[in-house]
Structure 1
């Protein structure tokens, strides 16, 4: 099984959907006639993404809005407060039928298909509610309130119940003249001598020694008692509650009288699959409804042909492995059915190391449920679920992170996550990248100035070529070729895909 690609070269000076620049965008692209899941895994780890069968890579240091590949480390993911709100909202809807009157989510625009300019939204919507990552500064507020109390007037209550101002009493007493007779110590009164009925006075030194000894004995007895009490408490008290995971919200069993029933079906994208074929019309109709309502597409821009081209046609070849997930690798639609009808579809690719999010479309009538955020959390949970069978698969790829576009920063809320260095293709925690992105749209995240792209092409002659149904290395094809040299184009292609992919994939030459 081979990946067969046709390199289309560089495309620059076209409209950007993020900043609305008319000529600011640039990318390299190729048409994938077929592709193995391993080759696509290696390509997205070098900054490539697919839209249908078109695979593209932004020219990071030239494009107006650099798009950095982002991945979430799903095994360590902890939902934020806003994520839990979305999960609880869905639970309330399913159990009691409760829905929010207002749509709490914005609708960010994500990557669009590079060959046609059709706008594509990736996944979850941004949440502007208070995040756990940005706690309120309670300590500062408390100090300020205490300062106000000190500045204010102090009120006391007398024995008779009459309230007085301490400030007034102090001021009044300070304004009175001092009585010289009351200044200084009073003269001693005459005494009667020692009382013989009482024991003689003890030295202060002896009293202090005795008090110290008593205190020491009390401490020893107290510590022993505390130890016994702690042991009893540990045995009797239950363990402290652990924070809830997304699975605690998602896989909860609904009561029999629940208002709605939710079923999530994973369907392989193939017209040979009976489930996919039987739900195709309903799914395509939902896509058109979403595109027209959210992206203001015309009916011709979101008909069944466009739906098939963008979200059903995939270059990925279906693969199965003994150590892989039970569903296999390839392209899938994750359908969300509520009471017997599809309300949302998440388009995903299952690859050797990750679940890669491609697109989401949903019924606008259910916007109040924040289905973008909910589906992203479901896909993280799904990634963790299949990791139990496929141990190498542990990441959730969210497409591109675009820091220069504020409405596209929401993907950074799924922590912990990493961004891909555009020069050395190593993963760097997003917390380390954000300070640099605040100063410059384009950044090299690898702090090692001497580090280079380890996967860069080293031997151009070993690039595999498919010509006239014959597979050959580029060194042989170059000798046989007639006409002008295409070495510059092949060099560009090999540099972008890397040495390993260039030796595995077949570069089609007509």
Structure 2
């Protein structure tokens, strides 16, 4: 805790995650289809909240329920009500097999770092056996290969052409980190200089709300949890950085940036492979590459890493993102693979029943299906003649957001023992202790109880014992 009693990322003993509810609303613009859909409606409805502290275990559960974070801002997108639906992806590092192009990128970069003179002299001083050479030629050990050119892995002398050092550091601000960020945003992302600032960098990529912990496995191997910067220094200069959330079961990629000077070395690809290697070597198993937007060409690179799994927004179960699944994404703006399977099964059953009827009646006429297509409405009626989903702010329980309990379901959820914090008390207190708790209804949009119910629904009623609703303003300043 700091002097004010506020949890900090190093407070691993803090038992609860502290979250402030913002609400369900539409983003003012969509950066993914800007300019690509001129004249068309662009919308990106999500439920938003702010985290003042998050345990790694709790945030793992959130990302497995379609959530992501941007700094302290948490958001869960509504895939049904979005011009560019966001889907959660994860890769099984234990089953990952690099493609030829990915292997070549690693080998070319290692060759650049080591240099021809070093490679020849090292081979002379420390020759590999015939078996070692054969194994290296036939097997691509990702963990060994991505770290092959790191200075600490080398036998010296001789000295390599370049000194490569890769470290995991706390996600704190420094000028050298900002310089890489500024260069990347300006020269690679083509962002105007007036949109790039130190405060923006700090807010977005530093000082995460995740607490830092260290787990020790049965084999004595340590696993870091929390937010970190994976820093790549070449000849003493920071040239790239991956912003990572290390969670109990995954390496979650938040952002990756690099200096324009190393652009020719495929740094994005090298960074992804390094993060997958970390997931494999430190036994996190899964690599989460962030949201996947099928309609955005710049996102297609993510499916080049396999086996990839996509989170079903309705069942919150994982499905293999294979060619068959991608073909479905090609055809529909919103996809729930469990719904697709159910629909296909219903169509098969209808076809079988139709065949039996034709055989029974001796009819040979063809009949057409009367099943409705699963179209996503642009606006959803709240049942009172008012449309919800078109305004900047809306009621979550009147939205069509997948995977969210209905208003009637939420009325059955016991929220009385949910912990709350406010500026008027130094201690947590129960929701049932609120003066208005028994008089307000969660069905009345905008009141305190409905705001709390929206947050519980968006997170999941089964997690009410793991977080505290934090209304303290001083913690969000």
TM-score of the two chains, using structure 2 as the length reference: 0.69
Q: 1:241 to 1:95 in 2, by over 3 A?
A: closer
CA distance in 2, matches of 1:64, 1:332: 32
Q: 1:325 to 1:55 in 2, by over 3 A?
A: farther
Provide the secondary structure at the position in 2 that maps to 1:244.
coil
CA distance in 1, matches of 2:45, 2:451: 17
Provide the secondary structure at the position in 2 that maps to 1:14.
coil
2:267 is matched with 371
Q: CA deviation at 1:351?
A: 0.5
1:464 is matched with 419
Q: 1:254 to 1:507 in 2, by over 3 A?
A: same
CA distance in 1, matches of 2:136, 2:287: 30
Q: 1:248 to 1:3 in 2, by over 3 A?
A: closer
Q: 1:315 to 1:509 in 2, by over 3 A?
A: same
Q: 1:87 to 1:496 in 2, by over 3 A?
A: same
CA distance in 2, matches of 1:509, 1:52: 18
2:365 is matched with none
- Does 2:474 align with 1:474? no
Match of 1:441 among 311, 333, 346: 333
2:11 is matched with none
Provide the secondary structure at the position in 2 that maps to 1:320.
strand
Q: CA deviation at 1:503?
A: 2.4
TM-score of the two chains, using structure 1 as the length reference: 0.65
- Does 2:444 align with 1:486? no
1:71 is matched with 90
1:260 is matched with 162
Q: Output aligned runs, 1:65-464, within 5 Å.
A: 65-96=84-115, 242-252=138-148, 256-270=158-172, 280-323=174-217, 326=222, 328-387=224-283, 393-431=284-322, 432-446=324-338, 449=342, 459-461=413-415, 462-464=417-419
2:18 is matched with 4
Question: Do 2:18 and 2:52's aligned partners in 1 also have CA atoms closer than 8 Å?
Answer: yes
Question: Do 1:78 and 1:245's aligned partners in 2 also have CA atoms closer than 8 Å?
Answer: no
What is the alpha-carbon root mean square deviation over aligned residues? 2.8
Question: Do 1:460 and 1:494's aligned partners in 2 also have CA atoms closer than 8 Å?
Answer: no
Q: 1:449 to 1:332 in 2, by over 3 A?
A: same
CA distance in 1, matches of 2:404, 2:436: 29
Provide the secondary structure at the position in 2 that maps to 1:348.
strand
Question: Do 1:97 and 1:260's aligned partners in 2 also have CA atoms closer than 8 Å?
Answer: no
Q: CA deviation at 1:303?
A: 2.5
CA distance in 2, matches of 1:424, 1:478: 36
Greater C-alpha radius of gyration: 1
Aligned residues between the structures? 357
Q: CA deviation at 1:248?
A: 4.2
Question: Do 2:227 and 2:243's aligned partners in 1 also have CA atoms closer than 8 Å?
Answer: yes
CA distance in 2, matches of 1:423, 1:466: 31
Q: CA deviation at 1:242?
A: 4.3
Question: Do 2:26 and 2:46's aligned partners in 1 also have CA atoms closer than 8 Å?
Answer: yes
Provide structure 1 residue ranges, at least 5 long, that are not aligned to the other structure.
Answer: 99-237, 271-276, 388-392
Instruction: Specify which structure has the bigger relative contact order, considering alpha-carbon pairs within 8 angstroms and separated by 6 or more residues.
Output: 1
Provide the secondary structure at the position in 2 that maps to 1:41.
helix
CA distance in 2, matches of 1:398, 1:479: 43
CA distance in 1, matches of 2:228, 2:27: 33
CA distance in 1, matches of 2:226, 2:245: 6
